[in-house]
Structure 1
Amino acid sequence: MKHVTSRRRVPLIDIPRRVLLYSGSYNHITDGVTLTLNRLVTYLESHGVEVLVVAPTTRNPELDGAGTFAPAPSIPAPGRKEYRMGTLIPPALRHRMTSFKPDVIHVATPDLLGRWTMSYGRRKQIPIVTTYHTDFTSYLSYYNLDFLESPLIKYLRYFYSRCDLVCVPSQSMINELGKRGIDGNMRIWARGVETDRFSPTHRSIEWRRGLGVADGIPLITYVGRLVQEKNIHLLAEVHNRLNQRQIPHKFMIVGEGPERAALQAELPGQIFTGHLRGQQLARAYASSDIFFFPSTTETFGNVVLEGMASGLPSVCAVATGSSDLVIDGQTGFLTPVEEIEQITAQTEQLAVDPILRAAMGWNARQEAENYRWEVILQKMVQYYCEASTQIKLRPQNRRIYTAMA
């Protein structure tokens, strides 16, 4: 008898067959959260996992979105109308979610709909994995909402304590959450980078010249949303101080957001590209000389990692996320955001010393090689499987499983 060997890839671990993912953002806006989740869903589907994605959307979403999509009712987020918050769940959506019969529930946003999804999982004894993407409490002061800090932290303690696994992007973020009393069953789920896509090989002198950057002028680049909580106005402060010291340089700002007009007024004559993606984004990174990132509200810092993979030394504010990626003095500089003079001096040091830039950029590229997406995404599948065993540790289940043993 002739034996036929299947060509189908056999998974390394017994992965769940159906995953229900809820996120407050998935296809209506392009940011680190949506790109990460879409990549995860694509990976799961390529391994035979059926994924139902429940998320708010808009009439003209920016992304096509991977997976089977179920739109959720939502309202604009306070102070940030480009983002959405899931609200109460209508009967039709509830039926679609429950009839899907997921093996694992993945909640990426702890809003009202995220809470309902989490509660449903607990009632039905379904493993619940949550990923911590956004440090909401750090945003409050930028919108004069400090009075909400205490009740928000209390709610987040409640929410994450009821999930089987809480996946956080970095150890520094776990430490910060611990200071706030948010100490669920934490695991580190970092982010990856496509080191072929983001690479120094995409550098283009012609492209720089097309932007008006003269040969030999250091191009200092920021990539990200143009919003208050990214501390983007620090770019203008450093730019002015470099001008006072007569340090040749050019700033390039890649991204969009409500603060663009104000920042352009502060940075006359500098380059604003708007939102870039794909090969254009990769070329923008690689054609730069220094990556500048003043945000202190990141949970990981995807753009920092993309800059490192592109061979750029970084000047970053000390913050969760960036502090786990940048090796101070080797791949770039880490400085408290309030130390503007020191940040300026470090930027100047890189701007005037091409040998230092090259050395730190090479180190950064080598460090980025440690963050490959295949490994990162497989780790989440392992967490899904681990969460299945964590159900036995839920307080209401301990007596049941002890009796069955």
Structure 2
Amino acid sequence: MNNQNELFVASYAARPPSLRIAVVTETYPPEVNGVAMTLGKIVEGLLVRGHAVQVVRPRQGVEDEPPLRAGLDQVLSRGIPLPTYGELRFGLPSKNRLIKLWTEKRPDIVHVVTEGPLGWSAVSAARKLKLPVTSSFHTNFESYSQHYGMGLLKSPIDGYLRKLHNRTQATMVPTRAMQLALQSRGYQHVTLLSRGVETQQFSPAKRSQELRTQWGAGPEDLVFLSVGRLAKEKNVGAVVAAFQAIQLRLPKAKLVFVGDGPLRKSMEQACPGAIYAGVQKGEALAAHYASGDVFLFPSLTETFGNVVPEAMASGLAVVSFACAAAQELITTGQNGVLVAGSLESDFVHASVALAKDRKTQEQVRSQAAGSVAHLNWNAIYDGFVATLSGVVERHGHAFATATPLRGPVAFSQPSA
């Protein structure tokens, strides 16, 4: 246990009583995506603070057997592959099962992470049992629909999402812009909870000349990096277009894609000179980030975009449209570049301009890491618990005035 965790444990008796939190999600580590990563970090923070967590999620495969861990109870459900995301699964409707589960082991609060059939079932079951329930808004499904020939479903999807979230007592979103956007569309009880970045993992110190040499890049050559799923909704075609324009001016420049997805084969044909590193995790991912120079992020569908603060923490110059995390974290010319407009040509122009301007590159790279140092995961954990505790208190739960417990609370323990 590190010193930080020891401090939390040592001060446990002085903190408010522990919560029993049922978390319902269609994605969870070791799956690789921003929602799974964020949720995994939050669950870890809750456990360290002595809260008991029950994670209800689809089984990820026939060999999916969660390891036993004190304070963590994982309940696996049936699921089906998510269209266009075969590696992820929709949880099937499970209202009756959840009612039975939470009648036998009553949580203090239910938190719904994803809005699929399992999430809807969880909201319905919680309301049936008169349990307080909260939710997170993580993914712009209504925006994604435009990329898969389902534009006519945008309005019905938004109506479904609005109804689901408005049946909860708080909907957490990661940016102020998203909060205002949802409120303008009739979403209620929308509250802000940002996301953190692991600055000990993502750091300029992880830069590897050995890795750059493998990419064919010398010390003075520019390496452009893209990290994420290779799919339509990520607008990765704009990365290819920007790099091809850059190569006309800087023939020695390199492009590295970290990640995988349904467009990989077609992208390898369209941009055969790029390096396709596949999915990277842990220290390998940190080294890939820090060994680049400029991070190209053209997505317009994110609610946050974890890769933006990760790239900034790694000391890269980020080029991004002015939306989601980038809009809140970047000041153009100081710690990154925000693209004016929303067209691919706008992104290409901004990327080429930065590629030619070494002075601005050096300026923004020198400021990038320090400008996201405040995104401390401990503040995110505490904010999450504060939101849940406020909902529990308003719901009239006796937990708000219960006597503090002296040790971690078991999820199976009867509610206070």
Change (3 A) 1:82 1:187: same
Change (3 A) 1:12 1:163: farther
State the one-letter code of the partner of 2:112: V
Give the distance between the partners of 1:186 and 1:123, measured in 2 at CA.
Answer: 22
State the one-letter code of the partner of 1:310: S
Give the distance between the partners of 2:14 and 2:142, measured in 1 at CA.
Answer: 38
Match of 2:293 in 1: 289
Indicate if the aligned counterparts of 1:29 and 1:61 stay in contact, CA closer than 8 A: no
Structure 1 residue 81 and structure 2 residue 86: aligned? yes
Structure 1 residue 163 and structure 2 residue 165: aligned? no
Q: 3-state DSSP class of the match of 1:116?
A: helix
Q: How many residues align?
A: 387
State the one-letter code of the partner of 1:70: V
State the one-letter code of the partner of 1:329: G
Q: 3-state DSSP class of the match of 2:46?
A: helix
State the one-letter code of the partner of 2:26: G
Match of 2:180 in 1: 175
Match of 1:112 in 2: 117
Match of 2:74 in 1: 69
Q: 3-state DSSP class of the match of 1:321?
A: helix
Structure 1 residue 218 and structure 2 residue 222: aligned? yes
Match of 2:142 in 1: 137
Deviation, structure 1 residue 39: 1.2
Farther off after superposition, 270-279 or 59-68? 59-68
Structure 1 residue 52 and structure 2 residue 54: aligned? yes
Give the distance between the partners of 1:160 and 1:377, measured in 2 at CA.
Answer: 21
Change (3 A) 1:64 1:73: closer
Match of 1:402 in 2: none
Change (3 A) 1:149 1:100: same
Deviation, structure 1 residue 386: 0.8
Change (3 A) 1:358 1:95: same
State the one-letter code of the partner of 2:27: S
Q: 3-state DSSP class of the match of 1:53?
A: strand
Match of 1:237 in 2: 241
Deviations 1:95-124 (A, max 9, x none): 334322100111011222211211222232
Indicate if the aligned counterparts of 2:19 and 2:51 stay in contact, CA closer than 8 A: yes
Farther off after superposition, 264-273 or 350-359? 350-359
Change (3 A) 1:12 1:125: farther
Deviation, structure 1 residue 21: 0.4
Indicate if the aligned counterparts of 2:99 and 2:129 stay in contact, CA closer than 8 A: no
Q: Where in structure 2 are the equivalents of 1:3-402 lying within 5 Å? A: 8-10=10-12, 13-27=15-29, 29-59=31-61, 67-89=72-94, 94-181=99-186, 183-246=187-250, 248-336=252-340, 338-391=342-395
Give the distance between the partners of 1:7 and 1:293, measured in 2 at CA.
Answer: 39
Unaligned runs of 5+ in 2: 1-7, 398-416
State the one-letter code of the partner of 1:34: A
Change (3 A) 1:172 1:146: same
Q: 3-state DSSP class of the match of 2:324?
A: coil
Q: 3-state DSSP class of the match of 1:222?
A: strand
Change (3 A) 1:295 1:374: same
Q: 3-state DSSP class of the match of 2:395?
A: helix
Change (3 A) 1:144 1:203: same
- What percentage of residue pairs aligned between the two structures are identical? 31
Deviations 1:57-82 (A, max 9, x none): 22268996883211111122233322
Indicate if the aligned counterparts of 1:291 and 1:315 stay in contact, CA closer than 8 A: yes
Relative contact order, CA 8 A, sep 6+: which one is greater? 2
Indicate if the aligned counterparts of 2:59 and 2:77 stay in contact, CA closer than 8 A: yes
Give the distance between the partners of 1:297 and 1:309, measured in 2 at CA.
Answer: 22
Change (3 A) 1:11 1:171: farther
Q: 3-state DSSP class of the match of 1:369?
A: coil
Indicate if the aligned counterparts of 2:144 and 2:233 stay in contact, CA closer than 8 A: yes
Match of 1:398 in 2: none
Indicate if the aligned counterparts of 2:238 and 2:348 stay in contact, CA closer than 8 A: no
Change (3 A) 1:322 1:68: same
State the one-letter code of the partner of 2:302: E
State the one-letter code of the partner of 1:121: A
Unaligned runs of 5+ in 1: 1-5, 394-405
Give the distance between the partners of 2:198 and 2:231, measured in 1 at CA.
Answer: 26
Change (3 A) 1:125 1:180: same
Deviation, structure 1 residue 320: 2.6
TM-score, with normalisation over the residues of structure 2?
Answer: 0.87
Indicate if the aligned counterparts of 2:95 and 2:122 stay in contact, CA closer than 8 A: no
Change (3 A) 1:140 1:7: closer
Deviation, structure 1 residue 301: 1.1
